[in-house]
Every structure is written in structure tokens, then in C-alpha cells.
Amino acid sequence: MTDASLPTVVLVDDHALFRSGVRAELGGRCHVVGEAADVESAVRVVLAARPEVVLLDVHLPGGGGAKVVEHVLATIPDQAFLALTVSDAPEDVVSLVRAGARGYVEKTIAADDLVAAIGQVRAGEPVFGPRLAGFVLAAFSGREEPVSDPEVDQLTPREREVLQLIARGYRYKQIALRLGISPRTVESHTSAVLRKLQLTSRHELSRWASRRGLD
Amino acid sequence: MAPSPPTTAPRAPRVPDRVLWIIAADSAVAALAFAQLLSGDERLAVALAFVIVAAAITALLALRGLWRAARSGDLARLAGGLLVAGLVTVVVLAGRHTVGTEPVLLALVAFAGLALVLRWIVAAIETADAEASPWQGLAGVAPPRRRPVDGRAGAAFGALLLVLAGVGAARFALAGTDSALRAFGVGVALVAVLTAVVAAPLALVAQARARRTRRAREVGRHRQDVAAHLHDSVLQTLALIQRSADDPQQVLHLARKQERGLRAWLAGQDDSAPPTVGVALRAVAAEVEDEVAGAATIEVVLVQDARLDDAWRTLVDAAREAMRNAARHAGGTVRVVLDREGDALVAFIRDDGAGFDLSAVAAERRGVRDAIIGRMRHAGGDATIESSAEGTEVVLMMPMEDDR
């Protein structure tokens, strides 16, 4: 029945209206295998349906999207999550990515772009949009005090360059052209940043958040 | 007992009235009881003390009526009422030839203290229900502003008078040679204790209630603020959207504008905070979005920020021109990034429109050169414009103050 090549998706959002909107938009291009409106049911549905990609909101009753990621990853370590949120608070988005989401898109994203992002996450590539790049840059550059572990707590100049170009709205191919590297290398930089973000101590980021009056 | 309390008071509180009447009646009963138990002058003196209390409370009720009838009651009225009540007391005392002037003074002091304290309790209980602090109530003022300390001072003064009367009474009771005076002293001391016993729990209850009312009022006010804000913003916008349902661009513009406003409101944007370059850029972005009425969306990302000064104001002005150009000629999404590179603050304004050849259209787009590049260089910074088929990016660079 269902086309095996269509990505399977679970939608997690507490607004039923939004879920049905996304479901309609994805119709024919993704196979929505489950929906959930809070943390507890989200974990249950994802574990039962085993989708390729989970579309996840930041704010959820029962502890937020990060909780869902933590719980699910404990059982399925390679589950792919894509954060889909209206929140424009950097710490909201960064916290979800830190928990293990492979990317972040805004809720106002066009249907085509959303489908593309789902495909990317499904293929194991990070979805590093301009906004997320800006948030991550801000998160890493806000540190004035000496970092405890430069390997993890700092971006390399190249990574910073790549992130800034993403934030400015350049596409991977354009970035590769500008920097004289291959698109693959651009991707490996974003993946490295994502890893760093997930390894950064909780302490570091919360200090960043508190200094910016965000928590 | 003498005159019943005037019923002209707008919102006659039942509980305090009852309390006062009970005290008055108790005093009268006590007076009778003592008159039966004791003998001779002692009996008369103790009974007298309680008669004073009964008369005082009656006078107080009359006074309160006067007070409430004249909603704007002030201290002059309080003094007048006290005088009336005092006269009642003196008349009662004058009937006793055995009593000298000292006990009369003592009684007046005790009464004045009692009146103030009871008045405070009454006010506290009333105002706890009537949306004002007990202290405001004591001053006889309706909810609108009045320094709350006034009432507290009055009550404290009343308590002081009571203590003075108590001390005086104790002196009479201990050192008095006249047995009648001694008994009178005991009576007044009893009255003071009685007042304290009645007043303390009432005051506590009244205060707790006032606190509760205040909290409820705060919550109510907050809800009102939220409702007012939503009404002025979201509901208005929704109405506008319904009216322009056949104009998708206008709908988009309205929705975007409202979203921005709501986000700023939720974030509690503080107007008193020192303005930063980032805040100014966001404001400019909103302005330009409005100018093109939904034809473009401008996303501002602040990687770094700095306090706004004159040179950076130039950067913001140049950024406005760049955003205008991008929004008008390219539309779609315009991205603005503010970052720091070395010792300079850099703003990137990028669109993904068709782009243009700066040298080819130089005459037509003269404004771009002057408004952006000229302006930045004049202020000690620099600007570059890079345009291709995949978009146009304006880069504005302004060094930190020391390097300009």
C-alpha cells in the first residue's frame, strides 16, 4: 500500500490544528504514522511506531520536547528528530538540539522545504538553517571566561565561518564555492558543530543563558 | 442605650457594628455585676468605668455614622466626634461627686485611645472588603490614594493612649489612698485588657483579609492588562484580517506584524533598557517590513551586540537603506546578521533575489552608493555590496570606538 520510499514520520505538537495542517502539507510526500500531543504519549507513540523521523515541538505539556528526545534516545539511540517550533528563544532551540535533535526548522517553513528537511534528517544529515546557525553562534561566542575544554567548548575559525555564512542565508553549495571547499566538507563542519553542541556541558550553556537573561 | 447608629451610611458593615454593640452591652452588664458584687464607693467607681465604656462605644458608633455620612472624613471630624463622646463621658462622670478631675482625664485618655483602636479595627474590616488597605480606611478615605501610614499612625497613637491610661490606672490601683479611685483604676485597666483581647484577633483577621484582597486585586489587574493588550492588538488584527481576506499579501503582512508585536510583548521588551545596535536593527527591520506591506520578511539574528552610539547609529541607518533595497527589489526573506569580526561590528544584509550589476545600474541606484557606502565611509567604517544571480549581500563594517 504505502510507498516504501516515503519517509515515515511521527508528529508531536500540542496543537491539533497545527498537526492536521502539517499532515495535510506532507500528504503524499511523507507517511505520517503517528501523532502525539504531550511528552508521555509522544514517547509511547514513537517507540511503538518506530518512524524514521520525529517532528517535534519545543514546548510540550509534560516537560518539553527535550524530554521526549532523552526518553526515546535511551531506547532507540539513532532515532532522528527534527525540531519544528514557533519559539524564537535561542535557548529553547539550542536545548532541543543539545538533547539530540538533528535540526531545527521554523513553523512558517514552506511545505517543500519541510519535506526536504525531513529527507535530510532521515539521511542522517543535520538541518542547520540560518536561524539555528545564528543561535549557535551566539551561544558559543557569548563566552567571555576561559573555556574548560577548547575541544568541545569552542568553535574552530572555520566552523565559525561556515555557521556565519549559513546565518547570512547562503546555501551549502554557495558556501562551498566561497570557501573553496566541497559541499561535503561544509556538511562535516555542521555535523561537528552539532556534536559539540550535544557534548557541551549543561553547565556551560546554562551559564550562557543566564548571562543573557534567558532562563 | 442612647442614639442608635445612623443608617445613612452607604454600606453599613454588619459585623463591626455587632462587635461594638456586644462590647457595649458587655460593659453595661459588667457594670451591673460589679455594682452587685462590690460595695460602697468601689462599686460605684467600677460600675462607672464600664458605663464609660458603654457610653464611649455608643458615641463611637454615632461618630462613625457622622464620619461615613461625610465620605471625605478628616481629622477635624474625628476631633469633633471625640469631643461629643468626651462630653458624654464628662456628663456621666460629673454625676459622681466623689470623683475628682484626675480620673476624668484618665477616662478621656482611655476613651480616646479606645476610639482610635476600635475605629481602626472597624475600618480594617470594612476596607478589607472594600478594596482599600485598612490604613486608608482608618483615615476615612475611600479607596483612591492616601498615604497608608496615616492610619497606622492613628492606630498606634490610640494604642499609646491606651497604654498611658493603663499605666495611670495602675498607679491609681496600686498607690491610690482612696478606695474608690483604686477600684476605678482596676476598672480602666480591665477595659484596656478587654480591648486588647478583642482587638488583636480582629486586627489579625482584618489584615489577612486585606492581604488576600490585595493579592486578588493584583491578579485581577494583571488579567485586565492582558485582556486589554490582546484586545488592542490580537483581536484588532484578527478583525482586520477578516476584512481583508481577499488580499493575501495584506493578510500575510497583518499576521506578521501582529506576530512581531506579540513576541515583543511576551519577551517583555524593556523600553528603559539602554538601546543596543541589535534592538535598533530589529526596529528598523519592522519599519521596513511595514513599508513594503508584507512583500518581504526580514529576519534579524544577533550573534553579537553593542550599546548604540552615534557611529553605530550610522551603521543602523545604512542597514535601513540596505533592507529597503532588498525588501523592495528582491522581496521574499531578507536576512540580517549582526556579528563582530576582530574589533569591528559587522552587519550582513542579504536577500536571495535576482541581484543587479552595481556598475551597470549605477546611475539609477545612485542612492544605494550614497546612502550606504558613502555614509559608512564618512563615519569611519566601510561597506561592500556583492550581487549575483543568487542574491545580493550588503556588508556594513564599523570599527569599535577606539579605532575610528
Distance CA B307, CA B285 (A): 18
DSSP category for residue B341:
E
pLDDT value of position B6:
42
pLDDT value of position B174:
64
pLDDT value of position B25:
63
SS3 per-residue string spanning A164-176: HHHHCCCCHHHHH
- In a mutational test of the B interface, the residue from A106, A168, A174, A212 whose CB has the highest number of chain B CBs within 10 Å is A168
Distance CA B40, CA A182 (A): 117
Q: Which of A70-74, B17-21, B230-234, B237-241 has the lowest mean pLDDT?
A: B17-21
pLDDT in tens, A139-187: 777 644 444 555 556 788 899 999 999 999 898 889 999 999 998 899 8
pLDDT value of position B396:
93
Q: Which of B186-200, B272-286, B325-339 has the lowest mean pLDDT?
A: B186-200
| DSSP H stretches of helix in B231-344 | 236-243, 248-266, 277-291, 310-325
> What's the pLDDT band for B208 if we cut at 50, 70, 90?
confident
Are residues B348 and A138, on separate chains, in Cβ contact within 8 Å? Answer: no
Are residues A168 and B390, on separate chains, in Cβ contact within 8 Å? Answer: no
> What's the pLDDT band for B68 if we cut at 50, 70, 90?
low
Contact between B126 and B13 under an 8 Å Cβ cutoff? The reply is yes
pLDDT value of position A177:
92
Side-by-side strand order, sheet with B296-302:
B296-302, B332-341, B344-351, B391-399, B382-388
Average confidence (pLDDT) over B8-18: 45
Q: Is the pLDDT of residue B217 over 60?
A: yes
> What's the pLDDT band for A124 if we cut at 50, 70, 90?
confident
**CB-closest option in B301, B304, B393 to A131:** B301
State chain B's mean pLDDT as an integer. 69
Q: For residue B351, which of B273, B269, B292 has the smallest C-alpha distance? A: B292
pLDDT value of position B150:
43
- In a mutational test of the A interface, the residue from B253, B303, B338, B397 whose CB has the highest number of chain A CBs within 10 Å is B303
pLDDT in tens, B32-62: 555 555 555 666 666 666 666 666 666 666 6
pLDDT value of position B181:
60
As beta bridge partners, residue A34 has A10
> What's the pLDDT band for B100 if we cut at 50, 70, 90?
low
Q: Is the pLDDT of residue B294 over 60?
A: yes
Average confidence (pLDDT) over B361-380: 74
> What's the pLDDT band for A130 if we cut at 50, 70, 90?
confident
pLDDT value of position B263:
78
Among A8-22, A86-100, B299-313, top mean pLDDT goes to A8-22
User: ipTM, 2 decimals?
Assistant: 0.77
Q: Is the pLDDT of residue A207 over 60?
A: no
Phi, psi for residue A85 in degrees, rounded to 5: -150, 155
> What's the pLDDT band for B72 if we cut at 50, 70, 90?
very low
Q: Which residue is associated with the grid cell 526536504?
A: A116
Q: Is the pLDDT of residue B255 over 90?
A: no
Which one has a higher pLDDT value, A89 or A205? A89
> What's the pLDDT band for B216 if we cut at 50, 70, 90?
confident
- State how far residue A205 is from chain B, nearest Cα, in angstroms: 15
Q: Is the pLDDT of residue A137 over 60?
A: yes
- B354 at the A interface (CB within 8 A)? no
Which one has a higher pLDDT value, B194 or A71? A71
- Percent of chain B scored above 70 by pLDDT? 45
Residue B384: which H helix or E strand, with range?
strand B382-388
Q: Which of A45-59, B229-243, B376-390 has the lowest mean pLDDT?
A: B229-243
Q: For residue B297, which of B281, B313, B286, B305 has the smallest C-alpha distance? A: B286
Report residue A95 as a C-alpha cell: 536545548
Beta-sheet pairing, A127-128 with A103-106: parallel
Which one has a higher pLDDT value, B67 or A57? A57
Distance CA A160, CA B336 (A): 17
Q: Which of A6-20, A54-68, A199-213, B305-319 has the lowest mean pLDDT?
A: A199-213
Name residues whose C-beta falls within 8 Å of residue A161's C-beta, 6 or more positions apart in sequence. A179
- Percent of chain B scored above 90 by pLDDT? 5
Q: Is the pLDDT of residue B144 over 90?
A: no
Distance CA B301, CA A141 (A): 13
Are residues B303 and A137, on separate chains, in Cβ contact within 8 Å? Answer: yes
CB contacts, 8 Å: A141 with chain B:
303-304, 339-340
- State how far residue B343 is from chain A, nearest Cα, in angstroms: 14
Q: Is the pLDDT of residue B392 over 80?
A: yes
pLDDT value of position A162:
92
**CB-closest option in A141, A168, A174 to B337:** A168
Strands in chain A per DSSP E? 8-12, 31-36, 53-56, 80-85, 103-106, 127-128
Q: Report how many Cβ contacts below 8 Å link chain A to chain B.
A: 43
